[in-house]
Structure formats: C-alpha cells, structure tokens
Chains A and B, each alone.
Chain A
C-alpha cells in the first residue's frame, strides 16, 4: 500500500491522470494512514469521549440539584417558606438565566482565556464549561419532568407519612426520569457534538485532530468527512445505549 501511495502521490500532485479509485486511495491514505495519522484521530476521539463523560456527569449532578431545589422551593406549603432555600433558589435562577442567555462559544472563551487563562489542561476546562452549560439545560428538562408527574403521587407519599425527600427520591424522581429520557438523550447528543467547540480554547479533541491533518496536507475533504462519520457512529452508539435504558425503565408500564 505504501508503495502504491508513493507511486501515485506525485502523479496526483503534478495534475496527472488517475482513476477515481486511485485518487480516492491516495487522498484517503494521506488523510488517515500516512505517518500513522489515524492515531491522532483515535486520541481525538478519546479526548472527545473524556470531555463528554465529564460534562455529562457534571451536567446531570448540577441539573438534578438545581431542579430539585427549584421544585422544592416552588412546592413549599404556604407560610412555611425557608429563607435559605429562597437564597439558593435565587442563585440557581441566575445561573440558568446566564447560561441559557449566552452562547456556548462565548462561555468557552471566557472560561478558557479569562477565568482559567493560566491552565494548560484544556480538556478539563472544556469539560467543566460544557458540564456547567449542560447543567442549566438538564435542570430545566428535569424540572419539567418533575412538574409533569401527577401531583397525586406526591400526595399519596406524604399522606402515608413519608417526608418530602423520600417521596421525591423513591416515587417522583424515578417517574420523572423515565418521562424525560428522550429529552435527556437529545441533550446528551448535543453535548457530545458540542465538545467539538473546545478546540477554540486548545482542547485536542477529534475535530482538532482533523484540522491538524488538513493544515499539513492541504486536503480538507477526507479528514472532515471522516470526522463527520466518526461523530455519527458515536451518536448512533449512544442512541442505542439510551434505547436499551429506556426499555429497561419501561418495565413498570407492562400491561
């Protein structure tokens, strides 16, 4: 293969005549195989997955906390308003407003070049930013899910003498999660693809690897098409996993 490549490459660059398949071979080889470039893509995918996982975990933790606090605040009995809950609720509201009101790219630039300007761990800063961003959206999805659970479920739990937290944990939250899984899945897919933005602060993820190859070979098509293909495969794998989870959670709907 290497022989064919070294034989055909000069013909292509001098504008000589190559068949479609010969040209495909040369450009493909150059984009993915020459100089073990595929290793760069693999490393990029690794960073992409690492940043996604970090952002996902952080986003879910933040999202659940913000959603539960805001819901608990809204569900207080009249005359039983907890001032601490009120303050935390106000802070969380500002958080959601600011994150949803500013572009992801701007948040990344601020985190990367202002707040953590001295940090060289770009993946960490990227994952942190994406997680904080995702948390705001996830919290709204979860809040919607919590509100959509029939109020009778909470009332039944409380009428049995269970406290608010236990009823939330064992009855309301599991039902909310099941209802919002498709919306959460969507959010996670967006998150996975948004990791491509961290290249603006120097994060060495998949798209960064592809751009590196483009700048060295002056050939854009194959690296970028390959990148698109890899994202597609990742998203499809993710969707498949979510589908499995959904089917497991749906067992209580069996009739």
Chain B
C-alpha cells in the first residue's frame, strides 16, 4: 500500500535519511525502532509529506505522493498521524477537534461528524469529555483523543510517532491498549516507539534504523530473539 523508493532527506548539509526502500502492505503493523537521531521521525514524516523528501519517491495507493501535481491534502486524508505531543487543537473543545477536519474536507456533514465523534469517544471511554478543552485533560486522555481524531477521517493507515514518549508511566498503558485494539481491528499501522513490549506483541515486522538507514528488519522474534547486525545487538542490549 505504501511504497518507499530510495528515499533521501537532508536538512542543510546533514543527510538524515540515506536511501530507504520499504514497502508496507495493507493490514500490516510495522514498528520502527532505533537510537535517538537515527531518522525514525523524519522517515515517518516523509510518508505523509510533512517533510519533503530531498529525493526518492513515496507511492501511496498507487499515487505518487512526491509528484507536485498530486493533491497532497486528498492523500493525507487517508493517512492518520499521531504525534508525540498530541497536538490537539488547543483553541477547540474535543468535539470540535474531532469534527473540524471531516467537515472542512467535506467528508461528512456536521451532524454525521458529531455522531461519529461520539461513537469514537465511546470506544476510548471518553464520551464525557466531548465538550472539555484539551487543557483540561491528562496526557493519556489527550493521546487517546488524538488517535480517534485521526480515525474520524476513516484513514487507511495510521502513523504513530512515539505516541507514549511524552506520557507519565501510569498513562502509557491506556494508550497502548487503544493501539492494540486498533491493530486487532486490522488497521495498517506504522509505529515509531521505544515500547519494545508493544513491538513484540503487535508488530508483523520490526525495522531497526540507525544513522539514516534501515540496518536490519524482520519479525519481532527475529529482531528481538536473534539480531544479526552488531549495531542492532548493541541497541537492544541497552533498551531491553
């Protein structure tokens, strides 16, 4: 479903991604791990063009995302993204957070979007927060809402960039629980995370990135049980 061809990305003179070739299949759960600064976030953000690749191609549903003629907004509607710092719209209450994009992109009428939002909020046990503002919620609650805000657009794939890294430890579980359910429902997911337990449990495939390249990849059993590359071994010995 997503095809990444020879993806390069530089910030100024520093090359952060040095030629990545990947393919994500429909329904697949890909977890990306690697040391800080290895380019995991940049890779993920290139997938929906929040970062513009320096060269290479991203093909999503057979359409080239990197082609200047592509309507990038249309494409992004099919790719949800969850950020480390939630990024709920601070000036809007939860209901408006969830309905703004579906209504403005004419995906739904306001009434449809509100009905959908209530249903999604129920799914994560937060329907009583529909008219609260983000500042009134805990980190775990904000992140669960950020996830269902993405789901409100009926995306085909969800991208997660360290969704639990900014959370207090006691709130990590509730967010991972939502993600686990989403995975069980068959959503295609690309997840950057330091939660190795989650990776082991949910991933179909784990990518290990270091210094702008995917050094090693395989099933969780292969990567965690029997890593081949010395850099993978050294990274895992530090985090496990």
A: residues with CB less than 8 A from B are 77-80, 150, 152-153, 155-163, 166, 170-171, 174-175, 178, 251-255
- Give the residue name and chain of the A residue nearest to B78 (CB): A161
- Also in contact, A78 and B101, with CB within 8 A (given A160-B77, A161-B76, A175-B90): no
Chain A interface, DSSP helix/strand/loop, else mixed: helix
Assess the A252–B50 pair: CB atoms within 8 A: no
Assess the A159–B104 pair: CB atoms within 8 A: no
Selected from A152, A162, A170, the residue in CB contact (under 8 A) with B85 is: A152
12 examples of A-B residue contacts, CB within 8 angstroms: A150-B87, A153-B89, A157-B101, A159-B79, A161-B74, A161-B153, A163-B73, A170-B100, A175-B91, A252-B91, A253-B133, A255-B135
B48 close to A (CB within 8 Å)? yes
> What mask results when residues 105 to 146 of chain B are scored 1 for a CB within 8 Å of chain A, else 0?
100000000000000000000000000011110000000001
Selected from A80, A161, A174, A255, the residue in CB contact (under 8 A) with B91 is: A174
- Also in contact, A158 and B50, with CB within 8 A (given A253-B135, A255-B135): yes
Assess the B52–A254 pair: CB atoms within 8 A: no
B93 close to A (CB within 8 Å)? yes
Max count, chain B CB within 10 A of own CB: residue among A80, A161, A255: A161
Q: Give chain B nearest CB distance to A181 CB in angstroms.
A: 13
Assess the B50–A152 pair: CB atoms within 8 A: no
Assess the B100–A78 pair: CB atoms within 8 A: no
Assess the A156–B89 pair: CB atoms within 8 A: yes
- Give the residue name and chain of the A residue nearest to B77 (CB): A161
Assess the A162–B105 pair: CB atoms within 8 A: yes
Which residues of chain A are within 8 angstroms of B224 by Cβ–Cβ distance? none
B88 close to A (CB within 8 Å)? yes
Q: Give chain B nearest CB distance to A170 CB in angstroms.
A: 6
B8 close to A (CB within 8 Å)? no
Selected from A159, A178, A255, the residue in CB contact (under 8 A) with B136 is: A255
Assess the B52–A78 pair: CB atoms within 8 A: yes
B149 close to A (CB within 8 Å)? yes
Q: Give chain A nearest CB distance to B74 CB in angstroms.
A: 7
Q: Given contact pairs A175-B91, A178-B91, A252-B92, enumerate 12 new A-B contacts (beta carbons under 8 Å).
A: A80-B68, A155-B50, A155-B83, A156-B88, A159-B48, A160-B76, A160-B105, A161-B153, A166-B104, A170-B104, A252-B133, A252-B134
Which residues of chain A are within 8 angstroms of B150 by Cβ–Cβ distance? 159-160
Assess the A171–B135 pair: CB atoms within 8 A: no
Q: Give chain A nearest CB distance to B238 CB in angstroms.
A: 29
Assess the A162–B90 pair: CB atoms within 8 A: no
- Give the residue name and chain of the A residue nearest to B85 (CB): A152
B80 close to A (CB within 8 Å)? yes
- Complex formed: what's the CA distance from A157 to B98 in Å? 11
Assess the B73–A162 pair: CB atoms within 8 A: yes
- Give the residue name and chain of the B residue nearest to A154 (CB): B87
- Complex formed: what's the CA distance from A80 to B52 in Å? 10
Q: Give chain B nearest CB distance to A211 CB in angstroms.
A: 47
Assess the B79–A162 pair: CB atoms within 8 A: no
Assess the A152–B83 pair: CB atoms within 8 A: yes
